[in-house]
Amino acid sequence: MPFNVGHQSSIPIKISSLVKTKTNSDELKVGVCDLMAWLCLLMILSTCQTTWAFDTRSESKLSNLTRVLLESAREPEFFGWLIWIRRRIHEYPELAFEEDNTSQLIKSELDSLGSNTAGLLQRLGWWVRLGQGCSRGSGLEQTWMPSQFSLIIWKEMVEWEHKSKNNGKMHACGHDAHVAMLLGAAKLLERMKDELKGTVKLVFQPGEESYGGAYHMLKEGALDNFQGIFGLHVAPEIPVGTVSSRPGPMLAASGRFIATINGKGGHAARPQDTRDPVLAASFSILALQQIVSRETDPLDAMVVSVSFVEAGQAGNVIPETVRFGGSIRSLTTEGLVFLQQRVKQIVEMQAAVHQCTASLDFMEEKMRPYPSTVNDEAMYEHAKQVGEALLGESNVLLAPMTMGAEDFSFYSQKMKAAFFFIGTKNEAVRSVKRLHSPYFVIDEEVLPIGAAFHAAVAIAYLDGHAMDTQ
């Protein structure tokens, strides 16, 4: 077994933290912070009517909190532990829903905190509770949720001591760092457990890359009765020491498709005896590009990309079958449904025109389509204020909307959500390549920042809610 379970171990999975606080009102449940590790999230659930008080901490108290947390995370022993976790995970990447060693490594780290853990998704995902608990009849719960751990199928091209030892697989999206940061937040919260006004539940989620692990976490009931969630993902486009996000729509809804066109093969010298699926596929691909250019409002962002075509191999034979496929994207979930309908209609009709038949597979079970990621304005504003106290107002940036997709979106459909990017760009250590590159590198100075950011968002939220309900 490549991971040493028992000393400083961890895993790329999604983490969630649940918090209960003592108040004089009926029990409030505040929900989940998801490190979408590829992120981190903070979820919050309220079971009764209350005013959300994100700014109840004075500016000086919030600044002091963030300073103490960041200084603690940057202590040499703590920082070294964060680096060890991240590198250990990086060396042994595992495919979605096959993260057995990673999962055991995470559980070992959680067990070292001395708290109870429970398994999810065939014991690949885990959660742990930290804090004081709550009295009968009152309480506030807050949850940190997904820290993702799935990998990218690339051969790592960066030569360094901790290069991936699983050939053809690598962590090229930062999930190794996401897990390390959220485990770091768990340790910071454990140190302050006597001061927590509630109980924090950390939840680690597997299977983020293309397989919708968040959807399965929700299906298992891991986030039932929660109202809010916070997520964090590394971003090599912005410098270390900065974070970015935006209120409202942020990331696209996305889905995959595979089209199969069947015709009648034959010799290239006698095309009249064939029903050419290559011609039908060619017209289909061209027609698909007209969906966005001629059927949608230019102000509504949508993308249809055909990324592969498979046909015959011989130069003198017209094949019987052609397969092609790609992805569809929209900044609204409704737009994604429209694209699915039109892709199906166009391919089937073009095939019929050329006397062929067609079938479409949107892979809704194997690679479930992702909805769009939409930030709740109040949750966004809370995390933004914490980020400004931690890093300075000028280092909390307004992120542009992009057509990338994230399975954090499943959480944002169910509860109030805020998803943030955390910068890793540093030319001095070659941390400049984009996500999913075989040359992807992370500046590990981001690890204590991410850990402190997670912990501060949770503590400040609990403090604000506790004061608001007294």
Tell which residue, 149, 340, 341, has the closest CA to residue 254: 340
Torsion, Cα of 453, 456, 457, 460 (10° steps): -160
Torsion, Cα of 425, 429, 430, 434 (10° steps): -30
Please list, in sequence order, all residues whose beta carbon lies within 8 angstroms of the beta carbon of residue 316, skipping any fewer than 6 positions away.
267, 268, 269
| Residue 209 annotated as part of some ligand binding site | yes
| Beta carbons of 319 and 360 less than 8 angstroms apart | no
Q: For residue 419, what is the enclosing H or E element?
A: strand 416-425
CA atoms within 13 A on the CB side of 242: 17
Indicate the SS3 state at residue 348: helix
Within a 10 A sphere around the Cβ of 67, how many other Cβ atoms? 14
> And the tokens for 455?
């912990």
Three-state SS string over 370-393 comes to ECCEEECHHHHHHHHHHHHHHHCH
**CA dist., res. 384 & res. 380, Å (int):** 6
Counts for the chain of helices (H) and strands (E), in that order: 11, 18
Looking at residue 57, the DSSP 8-state letter turns out to be: S
**CA dist., res. 325 & res. 71, Å (int):** 49
CA atoms within 13 A on the CB side of 350: 24
Q: For residue 34, what is the enclosing H or E element?
A: strand 32-35
Sheet holding 321-330, edge to edge: 302-310, 321-330, 253-262, 357-361
| Residue 134 annotated as part of some ligand binding site | no
> And the tokens for 167?
């050939």
| Residue 436 annotated as part of some ligand binding site | yes
| Residue 175 annotated as part of some ligand binding site | yes
Work out whether strand 199-204 and strand 243-245 pair parallel, antiparallel, or are unpaired: unpaired
CA atoms within 13 A on the CB side of 191: 13
**CA dist., res. 170 & res. 155, Å (int):** 7
| Residue 7 annotated as part of some ligand binding site | no
Q: Which residues share a beta bridge with 44?
A: 142
**Binding site, annotated residues:** 173, 175, 209, 233, 436
**Binding site, annotated residues for Mn(2+):** 173, 175, 209, 233, 436
